[in-house]
Amino acid sequence: MKVLITNTVALNGGDAAILHALIDVLRMTFGADTQFVVYDNQPDVAHKFYPGLKFRKQIYQSIISSLPSIKCKKYLQWLKLSLFNFAVWCWCNHLHFITKIIATKQELYDIDLYDSSDLIVSTGGTYLVENYSLIPRIFDYWISLLMKKPLAFYTQSLGPFRNKGHRIALKMIFDKAIVIFLRDKSSFEHIKELNIDMTKVYIFPDAAFALGKKEIPKSLVLKKSQKLHIQNVAISVRDWPFFNRINYTDGMNIYKATIRHAIEYLIKKHNANITFISTCQGIPEYWAVDSNIALDICSDLPDNIRKRIVINHDFHTPSELIGILTLYDIVIATRMHMAILSLIAGTPVFPIAYEFKTLELFNSLGLNDWIQNIETLEPHIFLEKLDSFLSRLSEIDKIVFPKIANIRKQAFDAGKKLEEEYYCWLNYKKIVM
């Protein structure tokens, strides 16, 4: 069986965690000999860090990146994308000779890959939100459906969709998809607003929960929760350009000041050692380098505090991160997948939410009292909450960690549901033909 996984950003460690977990789940579901082709926006760099996977450049990006930088580039983009659509239509209608005339060698290779695939899975994550451009995604979906391939959406956080064009296009696409997996209730309500067939929509945990061991060792959790002193703290930070209530500069200044106050509190009160580490670091070709934000935060701390801080600049695979995170007593996590990988590692998480996906995740874990919203951070309130969190670690761990094994099982259940829907589609296709 050949599966195409599209819309990945493997240079983002959180997306890489989703990708590797998705492959594990699909191999368990469809067999160990299942073949994968991964469509990514930076395939050459991704292959360097994950050489075991076959990467291709996302079709939309591949088409427009070959065009010259001239004034009429937008018109040329439209023309080239339309020509590719026509090439695909010709291929699907057995006019291969026309496709071979108008498509480039690379485009022909991609058309053949799509045509020979058994299943196309749009990877999990948070990319169908209007903070980002949806046009490349929508274009990819149309190609999948034009070729009459089964299109599945893996565990997503998506919407809301306020743009009329997005609503019309996505409704048509979701109506034709074989199944749609969402990570949270908010996304369920957002997609419901599009008036699609909701019988194909299911809520499952983030795919990354399928990584790691079947069960977190109870001894590890007990050892951490019963510690009298918090010795080692990991902190994940990030740049956030999408503040709603305040402007970017003020929002980031408050965020950084809050982290600085937390560091001083942890070192002075708990004599803790601090390590900045994140899912987005160590890859200069990727736009987000979280260790740069860490450097900025540390630059305004006094020398006696800075000497207790380590900034980890290195790249780590998701499995490596899980191993590293077992060494810490708590993690203050802004990146959601740093939070997930920490929980998989058996390490308690004090979360900072920048999108609703984090709010939904920690609400489902019964940790809604501890979620800190990046939009409304106030250093003194943050410290009060953090102090209370640390004083109740043992109680919190008893609530959270028994749930993780069940969440992991549900993450694999998503694969079973996908298999069920895929074979329903296959049987229906045979009947129709």
Using one digit for the tens of pLDDT, what is the confidence trace for 110-146? 999 999 999 999 999 999 999 999 999 999 999 999 9
CB–CB of 236/335 below 8 Å?
yes
Q: DSSP class of residue 123? A: P
Start-end of H helices in 277-392? 290-299, 303-306, 318-325, 336-344, 356-364, 379-391
* Burial zone of 60 (CB within 10 Å; 0-12 exposed, 13-18 middle, 19+ buried): buried
What domains does the chain contain, in order, with CATH numbers?
2-203 (3.40.50.11930), 218-405 (3.40.50.2000)
C-alpha 42/C-alpha 283 separation (Å) is 12
User: Cis link prior to 160 (omega < 30° from 0)?
Assistant: yes
Inter-CA distances, 107 with 65, 100, 146, 230, 234, Å: 13, 9, 15, 55, 45
Inter-CA distances, 403 with 29, 357, 359, 394, 410, Å: 23, 18, 17, 15, 11
Tokens matching residue 44: 């050459």
Using one digit for the tens of pLDDT, what is the confidence trace for 297-335? 999 999 999 999 999 999 999 999 999 999 999 999 999
10 Å Cβ neighbour count for 397? Answer: 19
| pLDDT of the chain, 433 residues: tens digit per residue | 999 999 999 999 999 999 999 999 999 999 999 999 999 999 999 999 999 999 999 999 999 887 776 666 678 888 999 999 999 999 999 999 999 999 999 999 999 999 999 999 999 999 999 999 999 999 999 999 999 999 999 999 999 999 999 999 999 999 999 999 999 999 999 999 999 999 999 999 999 999 976 666 555 555 666 666 789 999 999 999 999 999 999 999 999 999 999 999 999 999 999 999 999 999 999 999 999 999 999 999 999 999 999 999 999 999 999 999 999 999 999 999 999 999 999 999 999 999 999 999 999 999 999 999 999 999 999 999 999 999 998 888 888 888 998 999 999 999 999 999 999 999 877 676 5
CB–CB of 128/134 below 8 Å?
yes
